[in-house]
Chain A
Amino acid sequence: MKFDTPAGINPIDRMKVVGVAHDRVDGKFKTTGMAPYAYERHDVAPGQLYGFILGSAIAKGHIAAIHTTHAESAPGVRAVVTYANAGKLGKGSKNTANLLAGPEIEHYHQAVAIVVADTFEAARSAAALIDVDYVRGTGHFDLAAAAPTAPLHSEDKDKSKPAVLDRVGDFEAAFAAAPVTLDATYTTPDEAHAMMEPFATVASWSGDKLTVWTSNQMIAWAHDDLAQTLGIAKENLRVNSPFIGGGFGGKLFLRADAVMAALGAKAAGRPVKVAMTRPMMFNNSTHRPATIQRIRLGATRGGKLTSISHISTSGNLPDGSPETATAQTKLLYAAPNRLIGTRLAVLDLPEGNAMRAPGEASGLMALEIAMDEMAEKLGMDPVEFRIVNDTQEDPEKPGRLFSQRQLIRCLRDGAARFDWSARNPRPGNTRDGDQLIGLGVATAFRNNLNVTSGARVRLGHDGVVTVETDMTDIGTGSYTIIAQTAAEMMGVPLDRVVVRLGDSSFPVSAGSGGQFGAGSSTSGVYAACVKLREAIAQNLGVNSADAVFEDGHVRSGNRRVALADAVRGGEIVAEDTMHWGDLDKEYQQSTFGAHFVEVAVDAFTGEIRVRRMLAVCAAGRVLNPKTARSQVIGAMTMGVGGALMEELAVDTRFGFFVNHDLAGYEVPVHADIPHQEVIFLDEADDKVSPMKAKGIGELGLCGVAAAVANAVYNATGVRVRDYPITLDKHLEKLPALIQALTIRNVCEKAK
């Protein structure tokens, strides 16, 4: 099916199952420990051995010699694989660095060997006996040092064209003429996905056929890239990943666990299971790259923006891509004069790549502080300042409208709900005992993407509808919304639908990423269900155009037939793929929201506590309000982490992330997160898909950190432009503290 004209009325609009807050269909398995994750597959591939990966101890250079004799002769060891005996390997099209190092080392903790042994303890012990002679090379690890000479990055696929800044109007002239201006630089640090389930794979060969039970968000990408890396035919490879313990972008790509498990299993002649150790994950895999962002805003005294410039610099390995932190700035606010671009430095740190809301998450961390600063300069309320500069068309392509854009309503509804009018616009002036209280707001914005997505649907003898697609559920709720979609389309209750996900033997879907999963994968299921309805109608001899599927029956005119009657002659199977036309070119498809945060900052210690959080989201139809809300509160939680604690500390001498475990890399815990409130505007966007739904899982993160930062500023009057806002960055400047100390000194003198 191709979606190339706005959706009319369709069976999803009944919203008997879709749009209703259902519990997760996999909930009882996850809460009882019965959902099988990759490393736990005792049910497959008998005789599994244990693999342990050794990571490089240097960031750049090469291996002069690798001595494995001691490891190979250690008790219980079955095989040791390094570049020296792995055979020729390719590189996955989505990987920047190779997943097995040698002799060249591209980054710290790049895998250099796998030890396969009878037990985990034996494999781990033997890995410590491998002796590697490294020759360290010269690397670049310091973004601040590399930024001044970092070249502009071209978004054009044709790399022969010179990279240019994205220009509209005459930014320089307008900025120079603006009566009110802001020119500020913000930094965001490298961040880690830190999903709870480590990278893990069970690999089993049968002749030249390989099966991997792994943890991956994008089955088709893993399938392509593992086949390409190992140099095997795609039809000889099966990838299975039904349950994934979190990804956030970290499991979008083929990673070392799968490659090393496959190599280990080949060498040992037995199935091998591998889980990457937590301390290895941070430097072995990908991360959200740090940015340095310069933002210039020029406005009239009335608060109308006349000029916007946003230049972001990030780093990556050679041939890597930039953090596209300026993406939202092209579309978010009106201004006739614009200058936007990204610069990319070559750094020899581990590979930078997508983490939840790549681009916008980092970009809004900076832009939405800049908007707060500008509102203060103008003496305007930050909510009103954003509303005044709203645009209903693409600022770079006047006349190109948004498919739906209710940002103003998000801001207004949120302000009313959050009691925003009680905010004191004078920062550092609201106290609750020893606590400085502040309120902050930020816009949430993230583009909607649609990705080709297929599914197979079968109506069985028992009347059960089974959906098969290689879509994944990384905690997003795919199992549930796909079941809801099929139930709505086929007119059966939710418990009459079985959903099977995450297997390369199923039709290729969108996969989970870029907040395109929910809208795209359910659209693929919609397409397959349309075909299944046609086949059933044909079987029953009714006209599919006017057939109504409801309550387990098909109704057409005066006829009403049980669905089960259609499968007397055997089950009916239909398969289709949703393809997308040009509606995304005709209309800009984006999602919107507003985040409101209240913080309390201890006047004496500078400790920051989030007290209240509210998100108002406008993202088309909400397929399951319960799981969608969970996506948003989870993203808000990650946003608090980004604002207040998350930072991979770079050792710029040796080129690695120092705090590479969950004690050193801090993420929010229970005590950090208060009750969170989420409101969805009642929308249905007919320009995006027959589901009329857009993504929400990344929107929830976009802007959160800035809302926290703005609330902290409102509390303290100290502006911190370098994330995360740790208390050392504002403690000495806290006016309340200075004032308190002054009063104490005066009192003591008076005694």
Chain B
Amino acid sequence: MTVAAIPTKSVRAAPSPPPGAMPLALTINGEHHRVEVDPRTTLLDLLRDHLRLTGTKKGCDHGQCGACTVIAGGKRINACLSLALQHDGDKVTTIEGLGTPDRLHPLQAAFVKHDGFQCGYCTPGQICSAVAVLGEIKAGIPSHVSADLTAPMRATNAEVRERMSGNICRCGAYSNIAEAIAEVAAA
């Protein structure tokens, strides 16, 4: 594919590529990036430290909390569990790619309306996860609580809660998050 129409930004790993750095090209929120990174760099640290896209959060760095959830190749993943180099050529969407303070994504607006967050640290991950969850339900992908694996999926309270359970919110905004997602699912 050609990316000529998309602005290319060359960002070097800060402060300079360490010995053994490897080249990587990927598209994040529609913007093409070429970087050189230490092969040990996770996708999460590439985003936060190298590209300065700090909306994606590091809560545990172990795939246990979901704060780093991003959408890569159309699927939600924990960015901390994936090395940056595994994403050569991938398209990645982060919270910054969903909406801005002046133009909120419907889920971002619903989180504000239903107060689906408190400290805000898990929030970008919750929202990225919720976007993907609604997509998974629409695509008919069943979950652990789906009674009928072949019937059309619906975004019931039980389905949404089950599918969102990889995203921990220690402030305990779950009840409000469920309402925010339900509102967008019904729209």
One digit per residue, 1 when the CB lies within 8 angstroms of any chain B CB and 0 when it does not, for chain A 105-126 equals 0000000000000111110010
Does A670 lie within 8 Å of B165, measured CB to CB?
A: yes
- A169 contacts chain B at the CB level, 8 A cutoff: no
- B104 contacts chain A at the CB level, 8 A cutoff: yes
- A196 contacts chain B at the CB level, 8 A cutoff: yes
Tell me the nearest residue of chain B to A248, going by C-beta.
Answer: B170
With a cutoff of 8 Å between Cβ atoms, the chain A residues found around residue B173 in the complex are 630, 633-634
Interface extent on B, as a size class? Answer: 35 or more
Contacts A47-B15, A119-B13; A24 near B161 (Cβ below 8 A): no
With a cutoff of 8 Å between Cβ atoms, the chain B residues found around residue A277 in the complex are 61
- B112 contacts chain A at the CB level, 8 A cutoff: yes
With a cutoff of 8 Å between Cβ atoms, the chain A residues found around residue B168 in the complex are 196, 662, 667, 669
With a cutoff of 8 Å between Cβ atoms, the chain A residues found around residue B101 in the complex are 28-29, 32, 34
- A581 contacts chain B at the CB level, 8 A cutoff: no
Does A634 lie within 8 Å of B172, measured CB to CB?
A: yes
Does A196 lie within 8 Å of B119, measured CB to CB?
A: yes
Does B95 lie within 8 Å of A245, measured CB to CB?
A: no
Does B55 lie within 8 Å of A34, measured CB to CB?
A: yes
Does B61 lie within 8 Å of A278, measured CB to CB?
A: yes
Contacts A118-B15, A627-B115; A669 near B165 (Cβ below 8 A): yes
Measured CA separation A476–B67 after assembly (Å) = 19
Tell me the nearest residue of chain B to A193, going by C-beta.
Answer: B170
- A671 contacts chain B at the CB level, 8 A cutoff: yes
Measured CA separation A304–B48 after assembly (Å) = 61
With a cutoff of 8 Å between Cβ atoms, the chain B residues found around residue A634 in the complex are 118, 171-173
Does B58 lie within 8 Å of A194, measured CB to CB?
A: no
Interface extent on A, as a size class? Answer: 35 or more
With a cutoff of 8 Å between Cβ atoms, the chain B residues found around residue A474 in the complex are 119
Does A35 lie within 8 Å of B120, measured CB to CB?
A: yes
Measured CA separation A672–B166 after assembly (Å) = 12
Measured CA separation A247–B49 after assembly (Å) = 24
With a cutoff of 8 Å between Cβ atoms, the chain B residues found around residue A636 in the complex are 172
- A134 contacts chain B at the CB level, 8 A cutoff: no
Does B54 lie within 8 Å of A31, measured CB to CB?
A: no
With a cutoff of 8 Å between Cβ atoms, the chain B residues found around residue A120 in the complex are 45, 49
With a cutoff of 8 Å between Cβ atoms, the chain B residues found around residue A673 in the complex are 161, 172, 174-175
Q: How many residue pairs between the two chains, A and B, have CB atoms under 8 Å in the bound complex? A: 207
Contacts A118-B15, A121-B41, A638-B172; A245 near B119 (Cβ below 8 A): yes
Does B108 lie within 8 Å of A194, measured CB to CB?
A: no
Contact of B62 among A28, A119, A279, A674 (CB under 8 A): A279
Measured CA separation A118–B13 after assembly (Å) = 10
B153-187: which residues lie under 8 A (CB-CB) from chain A? 157, 160-162, 164-179
Measured CA separation A31–B120 after assembly (Å) = 7
Contact of B171 among A76, A246, A278 (CB under 8 A): A246
Does A76 lie within 8 Å of B18, measured CB to CB?
A: yes
- The minimal Cβ–Cβ distance linking A582 to chain B, given in whole angstroms, is 34
With a cutoff of 8 Å between Cβ atoms, the chain A residues found around residue B52 in the complex are 42
Does A196 lie within 8 Å of B172, measured CB to CB?
A: no
With a cutoff of 8 Å between Cβ atoms, the chain A residues found around residue B94 in the complex are 33
Does A275 lie within 8 Å of B58, measured CB to CB?
A: yes
- The minimal Cβ–Cβ distance linking A271 to chain B, given in whole angstroms, is 12
- The minimal Cβ–Cβ distance linking B167 to chain A, given in whole angstroms, is 7
Tell me the nearest residue of chain B to A626, going by C-beta.
Answer: B115
Does A630 lie within 8 Å of B118, measured CB to CB?
A: yes
A604-643: which residues lie under 8 A (CB-CB) from chain B? 626-627, 629-631, 633-638
- The minimal Cβ–Cβ distance linking B34 to chain A, given in whole angstroms, is 18
Which of A's residues lie within 8 Å of B, judged by CB? 23-24, 26-37, 39-40, 42, 47, 75-76, 118-122, 125, 193-198, 243-248, 275, 277-279, 474-477, 626-627, 629-631, 633-638, 661-663, 667-676
The 6 closest A-B pairs by CB, nearest first: A33-B55, A637-B172, A245-B121, A30-B120, A475-B119, A475-B118
Query: Would you list 6 pairs from A and B whose C-beta atoms are within 8 A, ordered by A residue?
Result: A24-B112, A27-B115, A118-B15, A246-B170, A248-B170, A279-B62
Which of B's residues lie within 8 Å of A, judged by CB? 13, 15-16, 18-19, 38, 40-41, 45, 48-49, 52-62, 64-65, 67, 94-96, 98-102, 104, 108-109, 111-113, 115, 117-124, 127, 157, 160-162, 164-179
